[in-house]
């Protein structure tokens, strides 16, 4: 090792800036944070060359006084924090007084501002001597911050910038995130002279979501809202059958701050659980609001993560809310989303005053809905898994109004549902229902109903089949299988799960052992149990190619609505819904 030397300030600043300014999108984030903190209701973002040449953010916020302009660029200079205690009652997005200093260390910055009370606008910009200087400028109000030539003095960083289109995609994603959670702000985003986003102020959150993400989201997404004294959660999640095969359209916020959170993502996935086919992802927007003293926002250099004081509460609230939203989510042909509203006592929820306006604006829609006809019931922090005897409650806000049309070939069941034609895959439906019932019973720890066989089935097992049978003995027993050894590798099946008794016992058990043999041996027991349930449902279910009587079809479809089933055990959709409007369009009407 060489001799230890103290770094000079210039190097220190550039290294520190690296933490804050990772890429152009991080500059945009810091500038937008500042505009929002200044109370702006109109933010215009202009980008050139993916942000490498120019990033400009203009707002109509409170502005900066002429005296403070130079100070704003100094490290550790902020108007948002006085003492460390203020961190726990923080109501602004920024708090460190670091962002502008970091950006000015790695780019050429121009800051123009005019407070409403001032007669003149002032700016600071780099002079010929390389120092920032103050001068008069022309601006009607608010602040304009321009960042040119990002990383011009840090070539090592500049070369890591990706293509302009890639960098701009990051910016677009970021601005989208902000626009979705601040409907009370007008947003405009321009790249290389072309407008990429333009949304005007609205008090209707749905309207903003439709504006930013497209109108189809309103029918594809289920909205939800829940609050307790400690936490308020609202947002949207894609309805079953509207999953996506990429992890995009996933938006997480805490107190109007866009964040990423492995904890919340995991809670959502856990809550949606078995409905999610493998390789599919839900789209969602989730907004958590809570008092700032139960949050630590100072855990990430780009302020993009937070730490919750009570992680357990957050996790279980989100997980259960998702679970409940999915159970209540209904197949709906309507064009307006039907919010699922779960509410606890409202009193005692502490709203940071800064967010009050946004909070009220954002929830106007929910409040209106709440006063009208939608469900209004408490969500208790109890496990909502069900035993076999009490099947899931039917979706409460919709009377299942459907009519059986009949069987199509020996594969599909046709149903008229509301104004749509439902084409149901009969095997997927039977399998999905069996799986739901078996899984719920297994989770609730209740022993499944079994059916003793009039004539026990005798099986001659091979060595590997016997090994698997012994390995899964307990799970099979729980499911309702009764198998006895009759000497050597001869086994006798005395009983099978009642729900699966339509299939021959021999075919059922051998089929399941076959499926298990293909499985990853190292999988943990929980996964094995789930696999076994899947195979049992698949092997026990009505197949393609079977003629079905009217009574059987009706009871299957009724159960599908009652249990709110959307996918088979393997995650494939059970039905295909053809909208009347779609059919009319097809025929040019």
Footprint of ligand ATP on this chain (CB under 6 A)? 30, 33-35, 38, 59, 61-64, 72, 77-80, 94-101, 143
Please state the closest distance from residue 208 (CB atom) to ligand ATP, in A.
22
Please state, in angstroms and rounded to a whole number, the distance separating the CA atoms of residues 159 and 156.
6
Nearer to Mg ion, 99 or 574 (CB): 99
Please state the closest distance from residue 247 (CB atom) to ligand ATP, in A.
28
What's 370-432 look like in SS3?
Answer: HHCCCCCECCCCCCCCCCCCCCCCCCCCCCCCEEEEEEECCCEEEEEECCEEEEEEHHHHHHH
Task: Scan residues 5-44 and list those touching Mg ion (CB under 5 A).
Answer: 33-34
Q: C-alpha distances in angstroms, 449 versus 385, 390, 430, 441?
A: 18, 13, 18, 10
DSSP annotation of 275: G
Residue nearest to Mg ion (CB): 94
Nearer to Mg ion, 354 or 435 (CB): 354
**577: contact with Mg ion by CB under 5 A:** no
Please state the closest distance from residue 178 (CB atom) to ligand ATP, in A.
14
Please state the closest distance from residue 96 (CB atom) to Mg ion, in A.
8
Nearer to Mg ion, 64 or 340 (CB): 64
Please state, in angstroms and rounded to a whole number, the distance separating the CA atoms of residues 224 and 219.
14
Nearer to Mg ion, 111 or 476 (CB): 111
Which class for 119: exposed (0-12), middle (13-18), buried (19 or more C-beta within 10 A)? exposed
Nearer to Mg ion, 144 or 553 (CB): 144
Region near Mg ion per CB under 5 A, out of 97-105, 310-318, 348-356, 516-524: 97-105
Task: Scan residues 36-95 and list those touching Mg ion (CB under 5 A).
Answer: 94
**Contacted by 146, from Mg ion, ligand ATP, none: CB < 5 to 8 Å by type:** none
Please state, in angstroms and rounded to a whole number, the distance separating the CA atoms of residues 481 and 215.
50
One-character DSSP codes across 479-492: HT-EEEE-STTEEE
Query: Using CB under 5 A, which of 17, 21, 99, 147 touches Mg ion?
Result: 99
Nearer to Mg ion, 22 or 562 (CB): 22
310: Cα separation from own chain's centroid:
20
- Report the number of secondary-structure helices (H) and strands (E) in the chain: 18, 23
Q: Indicate the helix (H) or strand (E) that contains 452.
A: strand 450-460
Nearer to ligand ATP, 177 or 324 (CB): 177
Handedness of CA 203, 204, 209, 214 (dihedral sign): negative
Q: C-alpha distances in angstroms, 28 versus 172, 204, 532, 548?
A: 10, 25, 50, 60
Q: Indicate the helix (H) or strand (E) that contains 194.
A: strand 194-199
- Tell me the number of residues near Mg ion by CB under 5 A: 4
Please state the closest distance from residue 360 (CB atom) to ligand ATP, in A.
23
Q: C-alpha distances in angstroms, 431 versus 277, 436, 438, 550?
A: 14, 9, 10, 18
Q: Which two tokens stand for residue 545?
A: 């190619």
Please state the closest distance from residue 113 (CB atom) to ligand ATP, in A.
7
**Contacted by 58, from ligand ATP, Mg ion, none: CB < 5 to 8 Å by type:** none
**Contacted by 282, from ligand ATP, Mg ion, none: CB < 5 to 8 Å by type:** none
Nearer to ligand ATP, 80 or 370 (CB): 80
Nearer to Mg ion, 36 or 288 (CB): 36
Nearer to ligand ATP, 30 or 289 (CB): 30
Residue nearest to ligand ATP (CB): 94
**Contacted by 62, from ligand ATP, Mg ion, none: CB < 5 to 8 Å by type:** ligand ATP
Please state the closest distance from residue 180 (CB atom) to ligand ATP, in A.
21
Q: Indicate the helix (H) or strand (E) that contains 282.
A: none
Please state the closest distance from residue 46 (CB atom) to ligand ATP, in A.
15
**Contacted by 63, from Mg ion, ligand ATP, none: CB < 5 to 8 Å by type:** ligand ATP
Please state the closest distance from residue 103 (CB atom) to Mg ion, in A.
10
Nearer to Mg ion, 99 or 413 (CB): 99
Please state the closest distance from residue 6 (CB atom) to Mg ion, in A.
28
Count of all residues that appear for the chain in the document: 589
Which class for 336: exposed (0-12), middle (13-18), buried (19 or more C-beta within 10 A)? exposed
Please state the closest distance from residue 32 (CB atom) to ligand ATP, in A.
9
Q: Indicate the helix (H) or strand (E) that contains 466.
A: helix 463-471
**Contacted by 307, from ligand ATP, Mg ion, none: CB < 5 to 8 Å by type:** none
**Contacted by 255, from Mg ion, ligand ATP, none: CB < 5 to 8 Å by type:** none
Q: Which two tokens stand for residue 232?
A: 């308020």
Partnered with residue 198 across adjacent β-strands are 188
Please state, in angstroms and rounded to a whole number, the distance separating the CA atoms of residues 299 and 542.
54
Residues that bind Mg ion (CB under 5 A): 33-34, 94, 99
């Amino acid at each position: 090792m060489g001799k230890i030397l103290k770094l000079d300030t210039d190097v220190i600043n550039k290294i520190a800036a690296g933490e804050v300014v990772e890429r152009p999108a991080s500059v945009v984030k810091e500038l937008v944070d500042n505009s929002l903190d200044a109370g702006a209701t109109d933010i215009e973002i202009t980008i050139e060359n993916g942000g490498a040449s120019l990033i400009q953010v203009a707002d109509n916020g409170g502005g900066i006084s002429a005296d403070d302009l130079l100070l704003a660029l100094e490290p550790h200079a902020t108007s948002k924090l006085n003492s460390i205690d203020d961190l726990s009652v923080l109501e602004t997005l920024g708090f460190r007084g670091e962002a502008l200093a970091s950006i000015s260390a790695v780019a050429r910055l121009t800051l123009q501002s005019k407070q409403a009370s001032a007669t003149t606008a002032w700016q600071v910009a780099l002079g010929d001597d390389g120092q920032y200087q103050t001068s008069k400028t022309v601006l009607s109000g608010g602040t304009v911050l321009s960042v040119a030539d990002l990383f011009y003095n840090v070539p090592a960083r500049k070369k890591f910038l990706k293509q302009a289109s890639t960098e701009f995609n990051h910016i677009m994603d970021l601005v989208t995130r902000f626009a979705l959670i601040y409907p009370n702000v007008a947003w405009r985003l321009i790249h290389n002279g072309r407008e990429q986003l333009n949304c005007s102020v609205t008090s209707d959150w749905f309207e903003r979501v439709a504006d930013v993400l497209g109108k189809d989201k309103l029918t594809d997404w289920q909205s939800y809202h829940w609050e307790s004294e400690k936490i308020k959660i609202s947002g949207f999640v894609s309805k079953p059958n509207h999953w996506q095969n990429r992890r995009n359209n996933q938006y997480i916020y805490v107190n109007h701050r866009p964040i990423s959170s492995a904890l919340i993502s995991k809670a959502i996935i856990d809550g949606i659980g078995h409905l999610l086919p493998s390789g599919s992802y839900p789209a969602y927007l989730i907004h958590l609001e809570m008092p700032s003293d139960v949050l630590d926002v100072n855990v990430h250099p780009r302020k993009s993560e937070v730490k919750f004081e009570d992680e357990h509460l957050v996790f279980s609230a989100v997980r259960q809310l998702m679970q409940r939203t999915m159970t209540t989510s209904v197949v709906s042909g309507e064009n307006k989303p039907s919010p699922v509203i779960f509410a606890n006592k409202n009193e005692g929820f502490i709203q940071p005053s800064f967010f009050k306006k946004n909070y009220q604006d954002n929830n106007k829609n929910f409040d209106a809905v709440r006063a009208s006809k939608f469900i209004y019931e408490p969500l208790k922090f109890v496990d909502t898994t069900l035993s076999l005897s009490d099947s899931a409650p039917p979706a409460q806000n919709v009377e299942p109004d459907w009519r059986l049309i009949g069987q199509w070939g020996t594969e599909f069941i046709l149903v008229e549902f509301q104004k749509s034609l439902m084409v149901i895959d009969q095997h997927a439906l039977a399998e999905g229902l069996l799986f739901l019932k078996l899984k719920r019973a297994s989770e609730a720890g209740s022993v499944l109903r079994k059916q003793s066989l009039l004539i026990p089935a005798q099986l001659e097992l091979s060595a590997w089949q016997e090994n698997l049978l012994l390995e899964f003995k307990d799970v099979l027993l729980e499911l309702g299988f009764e198998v006895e050894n009759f000497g050597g590798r001869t086994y006798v099946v005395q009983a099978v799960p009642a729900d699966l008794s339509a299939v021959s016992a021999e075919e059922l058990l051998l089929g399941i052992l076959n499926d298990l043999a293909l499985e990853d041996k190292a999988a943990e027991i929980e996964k094995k149990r789930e696999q076994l349930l899947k195979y049992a449902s698949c092997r026990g279910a009505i197949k393609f190619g079977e003629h079905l009587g009217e009574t059987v079809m009706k009871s299957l479809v009724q159960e599908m609505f009652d249990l709110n089933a959307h996918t088979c055990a393997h995650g494939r959709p059970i039905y295909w819904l053809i909208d009347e409007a779609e059919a009319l369009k097809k025929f040019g009407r």
